[in-house]
Amino acid sequence: MNRTDELTDRLIDGTLTDAEALELHDLLASDAGARSRHLALVRLELVLRGLRTEFDLAGPTVAKIESDRVERTTRAVMAELAHRPAPGQRRSTRRVRVWAALAALAAALLVAVWFGQRAPDAPRLPDDPPRAAPDFARLTSVSGSVAVVGPAGETAARQNQSFAPDQTLRTVGEDSVAVVEFPDRTRIEIHPESIVRFGPESTGELTRKLFLIQGRITAVTEGGRLVVGAGATEVKASRGSFALWSAGPGSARVESTAGDVQVSHGAPAEPVLLGPGHAAYARDEQTPMRIDARWRIDSEPRARLDFQALDVGFNLDGEVWAVSAKQWARWTPGTPDPGRTLFPPKVFNDGLAAWLTPDRRAVALCRIDDREERIVVRELPSGAERGQIPVRVNDPRVLCVGPDASWVATAGEQKPFNRRIRVWDVRTGAERFSREVNDSVACLAALPDGRGLAVGVSDLGGGANNAVAIFDAVTGDRLVELPTRRKFITSLTTTSDNRRLAAGFNGAVQIWDVPNRKLLRTLDGFERGVTRVAFSPRGDILAAGTSDGQVWIWASATGRRTQVIDTGTRAVRSLAFSADGKLLVTATNKAPVAVWEVAPEPANDPNT
């Protein structure tokens, strides 16, 4: 590992010192090769954390990043931050400048990619922004890290500040949300990890315009006409409410929850009128828009438990078991909160990962604090310690526990590029074996029979070599390889009989026949990275949780989509079906555990 990789790892882990931050800044400024490796590591980390991106960060795009646009952006941000401390932060001035430069590089990347790949017929932003209108809009609510970007540079957003039509809003981080309100009471909520550019105020008819560059918004219109552009899709509304997702130029998804919404697909297309509960998806100018009213769209669960869980599951009696790294709850949906059981000895954080075994009899916990870096395997419900693994894992997708909790598999504690898989014996804490793979390990899954380990192997350079490899968890022999040929495998699961495997990606799920090494079908039509996938006990239903808090449900035999569950705006960490497949339990980042009713597949469908 060279010095750039080492410093980048510390930056990602949050352990970079002031002196090391300055050293990393100097290395990136002086060495093009170091910049390239740094970008590759940061890109991998973004994918592993479930952040949606389909930007091509190689070749021409990197050239754009190194162009004068980056230099101008960096200078503008640095000039602004040189005269004021970062909002809500207590850092030294030197460290603020280094972090500002890195943040500016990331912002310039998004801008460069958007300008370089924008669809030809997408609405173009004016070269000379008009003079700001003082009553154009107002930020009524700001939480988390929200930035306002204008001609003069980037500043931190503040509640109740006026907003001009030539400015851009960025919400940075999964806890960041901004609410913009217009004088006619039209309201826009900008969700986490989103970029929205506000267009000019039209003359004559009262119209509010904006362009969703990336992310998700929800809108409520109460008078004036609202026009939102996202890639090749334009949404118009004068009443009601809707949600719009965009993964970047050329793709969008819109759902109307109340009132009427018009969706235009490119300049020549006729507008499509959406009523409540309808949905449309457009990828580019050549793809016809699909209107699908068959989905059941749910946003209200059957029951909630106020517990921030890292993993959840049902037992055979219909109880929900929810765990974090320091405590667990055993709850029957619809009954009062049962309280928490703390694992001994008491700790002050919830760690990064907790994985229940399928039978809910054991849990593997990854705890990291100032005193210990280890995986602890415990019996349930007693909480007694079964064994310890002396290793640190930074991401829950690169940790899994065998069905009988006799072994634990890890990756990600060795960098760069997480190419080493290690399987540990829980009873002794010793390493059974380790294996090197050709490319980066993005996720792991234990096969239900306990003898197999599925590994998602992703090539950072493209995707043609991406595959799911299955290893023997006892001997380490490589048994099966399934060539996915898609970028960044983000999650894996199998049916209880080991015959079918589901692999999640950014905006797609593949279902494989494992014994015959055959791809059965690809499910797509959504715009976020898949963070968790799960089959129902019978294998007839497949659920995929995404980084924007949605769960998409399909009949696995037909590939027919039956339901969309909107858990909120936070990434789905865990999901599991009840024994009869009629209920689904979800855990999302920093939000309550929720139980949902699963919609059955329609018996007769004229559209199939």
* Residue 431 half-sphere exposure toward CB, CA atoms < 13 A: 10
pLDDT of residue 476: 93
Mean pLDDT of 61-86: 44
Could you say which DSSP state residue 287 is in?
A: S
Q: What pLDDT score was predicted for residue 222? A: 77
Separation of alpha carbons 561 and 524, rounded Å = 10
pLDDT at residue 2 is higher than 60: yes
Strands laid side by side in the 373-379 sheet: 353-356, 362-368, 373-379, 385-389
| 131, part of any domain | no
Stretch 278-294: mean pLDDT, rounded?
70
Q: What is the mean pLDDT of the chain?
A: 77
Per the model's pLDDT, the better-predicted residue between 355 and 190 turns out to be: 190
State yes or no: pLDDT of 511 exceeds 90: yes
| pLDDT class of 577 with cuts at 50, 70, 90 | very high
Report yes or no on 125 lying in a domain. Answer: no
Residues 106 and 231 in one domain: no
- The predicted model scores a pTM of 0.67
pLDDT the model gives residue 369: 54
- The predicted pLDDT at position 365 comes to 77
Residue 561, pLDDT score: 85
202 and 320, same domain (yes or no): no
Last residue of a domain, one of 56, 83, 117: 117
* Top-ranked range on mean pLDDT: pick from 56-70, 174-188, 192-206: 174-188
Q: Which residue has the higher pLDDT, 358 or 537?
A: 537
pLDDT of res. 132:
39
- Distance (Å) of CA 422 to CA 392, 412, 493, 574: 12, 10, 19, 23
Grouping H, G, I as helix, E, B as strand and the rest as coil, residue 369 is coil
124 CB-near residues (< 8 Å, 6+ apart): none
Strands 399-401 and 431-436: unpaired
Provide mean pLDDT across the span 376-380: 89
Neighbours of 64 (CB within 10 A): 17
Select from 273, 292, 311 the last residue of a domain.
Answer: 292
CB 316 within 8 A of CB 358: no
Rounded mean pLDDT of 455-474? Answer: 82
Produce one character per residue of 364-398: b if its CB has 16 or more CB atoms within 10 Å, e if not: bbbbbeeeeeebbbbebeeeeeebbbebbbbbbbb
Whether residue 596 contacts residue 303, with contact meaning beta carbons closer than 8 Å, is answered with: no
- Greatest mean pLDDT among 137-146, 191-200, 339-348, 371-380: 137-146
User: Do 388 and 270 belong to one domain?
Assistant: no
Coil vs helix vs strand at 37: helix
- Whether residues 31 and 150 share a domain: the answer is no
Same domain? For 432 and 516 the reply is: yes
Reply yes or no on whether the pLDDT at 289 is more than 80: no
Q: Evaluate whether residue 607 is within a structural domain.
A: no
Parent domain of 186 = 137-292
Residue 333 phi, psi (nearest 5): -55, 135
User: Do 277 and 313 reside in the same domain of the chain?
Assistant: no
Model confidence band, residue 607 (pLDDT cutoffs 50, 70, 90):
very low
Query: Of 382, 392, 390, which is closest to residue 362 (Cα–Cα)?
Result: 382
pLDDT at position 27? 83
Q: What is the DSSP letter of 47?
A: H
Beta strand 153-156 pairing with 137-150: antiparallel
Work out the pLDDT band at 470, boundaries 50, 70, 90: very high
Identify whether the C-beta of residue 577 lies closer than 8 Å to the C-beta of residue 534: yes
User: What's the CA gap between 146 and 578, in Å, rounded?
Assistant: 39
Q: Band the pLDDT of 50: cuts 50, 70, 90.
A: very low
Name the band, by pLDDT with cuts 50, 70 and 90, for residue 357: confident
Q: Is the dihedral of CA 339, 343, 344, 347 positive or negative?
A: negative
- Asked if residue 220 belongs to a domain, the reply is yes
Least confident of 23-27, 280-284, 483-487, 594-598: 280-284
* Of 489, 406, 486, 416, residue with least CA distance to 449: 406
Q: Which residue has the higher pLDDT, 605 or 568?
A: 568
Are residues 457 and 337 located together in one domain of the fold? yes
The enclosing H or E element of 149 equals: strand 137-150
**By percentage, how much of the chain surpasses pLDDT 90?**
28
Q: What is the mean pLDDT of residues 236-255?
A: 80
Highest mean pLDDT among 5-9, 195-199, 297-301, 422-426: 422-426
Encoded tokens for 414: 């060795």
Q: Are residues 105 and 167 both part of a single domain?
A: no
Q: Pick the last residue of a domain from 87, 117, 147.
A: 117
416 and 307 in a single domain? The answer is yes
Pair (265, 349) in one structural domain:
no
- Range 296-319 average pLDDT: 90
| Cα angle value 440/404/514 (rounded, 5°) | 50
* Residue ranges with strand state E in 259-340: 261-265, 272-274, 279-282, 290-291, 296-298, 303-305, 311-314, 320-323, 327-331
CATH number, position 144: 2.60.120.1440
Run of H or E residues at 375: strand 373-379
Domain assignment present for residue 298? The answer is no
When mean pLDDT is compared across 184-188, 268-272, 408-412, 569-573, the lowest value belongs to 268-272
> Cis before residue 129, ω within 30 degrees of 0?
no
- Tokens linked to 390: 């002396």
347, 268: one domain: no
Written as six digits, the tokens of 568 are 């909120």
Quote the CA–CA distance of 416 and 387 in Å, as a whole number.
Answer: 28
Let me know: does 64 contact 30? Beta carbons within 8 Å.
Answer: no
Burial of 555 (0-12, 13-18, 19+ CB in 10 A): middle
Q: 517 φ, ψ to 5°? A: 55, 45
Is there a contact between 37 and 62 (Cβ–Cβ < 8 Å)?
Answer: no
Residue 105: inside a domain, yes or no? yes
Q: Are residues 355 and 489 in the same domain?
A: yes
* Residue whose pair of structure tokens reads 């597949």 in the numeric block: 601
- Does the residue 127 lie in any domain? no
Structural domain count of the chain: 3
Complete DSSP assignment for 434-452: EEE-SSEEEEEEE-TTSSE
pLDDT of residue 608 exceeding 80: no
Which residues in 231-317 belong to E strands, given as ranges? Answer: 233-246, 252-258, 261-265, 272-274, 279-282, 290-291, 296-298, 303-305, 311-314
- CATH number, position 564: 2.130.10.10
Q: How would you classify the pairing of strands 593-597 and 583-588? A: antiparallel
pLDDT category of residue 17 using cuts at 50, 70 and 90:
confident
Rounded Cα distance between 494 and 499, Å, is 7
Residue 132 in any domain: the answer is no
